[in-house]
Structure 1
Amino acid sequence: MSNNGTQLKVHNRAMIAGALVGGIASGVENWKRQQQGEQSIQETTCKVVKDAAKAGVVSGAAMYVANATAGRPVLTMLTVLSTAAAGLYLIDSIKGNKNEQPK
């Protein structure tokens, strides 16, 4: 019996994996800050959810475009470069949030 209708596509799996990895990384960092009293549990939760969503969207979109451009080396290279740029932007965004001082 086949269950092909219930299998996730490659970009959906990449989105889930990216959200998990991004959420875990953000969770570890924000949990430390919450334990030190720098932010409340609500702020911690919001930041982790936002970071997980960002990472998931970047991963899913990159895999979708890479899958669509399969067999086209120039487009695949541009996809890899744009994904790297988006990943660096996401890392800078997370680091920027760490450097903000509460007023």
Structure 2
Amino acid sequence: MSAEAELRARWRSLVGEVLPEAARGRRDWPVALDHCFARILLDNACGRPWREVVPPPAWRHIAPDRLAEAVAIGEAVLTGTADLAALNRRSLALRGKAVPVREAGPS
């Protein structure tokens, strides 16, 4: 398998299985669904709503360097070195959406 194919497989596993599974034990995480993780990671890696940069499905069409950045962000969330709530707030702000009330205050 090529390095790019491995990266794309890692993305699909991370977003489709690993992060949603980890979310089951994390009441402090603002999301638990695969598509929410994808939105947050891709928006943050792209610096704007990912659909403005990449046609769906993103995992297939995104440039490898940008996908590697999204995977690195997801793995940082898993290790606790990235704040998922802050990443979610940034993603929502990039989309011009309000932060959910449950996230607005301190945890």
Q: Same fold (TM over 0.5)?
A: no
More helix by share: 1
Larger radius of gyration: 1
TM-score range, shorter chain: 0.3 to 0.5
